[in-house]
A and B are shown apart, each in its own frame.
Chain A
Amino acid sequence: DTAVSQTPKYLVTQMGNDKSIKCEQNLGHDTMYWYKQDSKKFLKIMFSYNNKELIINETVPNRFSPKSPDKAHLNLHINSLELGDSAVYFCASSQVRTGELFFGEGSRLTVL
């Protein structure tokens, strides 16, 4: 049973396109996150939701729009993709906001 699952695993697209990444967790956690990992492996938090409510937005361009239809799902939509958006995007969840994070396997986005 996969605890945090995200799709798709790989995404290759052209500049200017719009794409979405979906995430689901079956751990019963209240808090979900999106992290971005660049080519140098830096892990930076982008968004955090607690019970469907946005609690952290780390100065991410407004081309990135997270949506949480319920506390088990957190999707990420990206408009007008740019070359610099190429990265691995990780979804994660936790029971408390500063507790153990459970990560998905990542979605590698390549913008050409």
Chain B
Amino acid sequence: GENVEQHPSTLSVQEGDSAVIKCTYSDSASNYFPWYKQELGKGPQLIIDIRSNVGEKKDQRIAVTLNKTAKHFSLHITETQPEDSAVYFCAAPVSSASKIIFGSGTRLSIRP
């Protein structure tokens, strides 16, 4: 079946450094790739998304890149801060089933 793979499962970076989380997807018809952030005790919240007609999108310290040929997309966080500590999920639609499936999540910790 269709799936989304996410790596790494945990990531620890020094405050101020960059963090990169990578995902691959299998449905070649997917055209929308969101990233969600889940803070402790809360529901996931969309932080950035990208559609297949662009290769990169930035919003302040976060950016997402997409390689449709390789079916890869990545989340980049620069100048990390303590409030960036959370679990991050990538996701992609399964076009044949009208649903979005999630990667397995990355627990990001920012070391002071």
Interface positions of A (Cβ within 8 A of B): 4, 40-45, 48, 55-56, 90, 92, 97-101, 103-106
Contact check, B93 vs A98: say whether CB atoms are below 8 A apart. yes
For B43, the closest partner residue in chain A by CB is A103
User: How far apart are the CA atoms of A92 and B102 in the complex, in Å?
Assistant: 14
CB-CB < 8 A to B101: which residues of A? Answer: 45
User: Interface majority SS on B: helix, strand, loop or mixed?
Assistant: strand
Q: How many A-B residue pairs have CB under 8 A?
A: 54
* CB–CB A105/B34 < 8 A: no
Instruction: Verify B44–A55 contact, CB threshold 8 A.
Output: no
Structural contact, B99 and A98, CB atoms closer than 8 A: yes
The docked-state distance in angstroms from the alpha carbon of A93 to that of B36 is 14
Evaluate whether A105 and B98 lie within 8 angstroms (CB atoms) in the complex, with A42-B104, A43-B105, A98-B93 already known. no
Nearest residue, chain B, Cβ from A106 = B43
A45 to B87, CA, bound (A): 18
CB neighbours of B44 from chain A (8 A):
43, 90, 101, 103
Q: Could you tell me the distance in whole angstroms from the C-beta of A101 to the nearest C-beta in chain B?
A: 7
A105 and B41 form a contact (CB under 8 A): yes
What are the residues of chain A within 8 A of B38 when measuring CB–CB? 41
Provide a sorted-by-A list of 5 A–B residue pairs whose CB atoms are within 8 angstroms: A43-B89, A101-B36, A101-B46, A104-B43, A105-B43
- Inside 8 A of A106's CB, which chain B residues have their CB? 41-43
CB of A90 within 8 A of CB of B43, answer yes
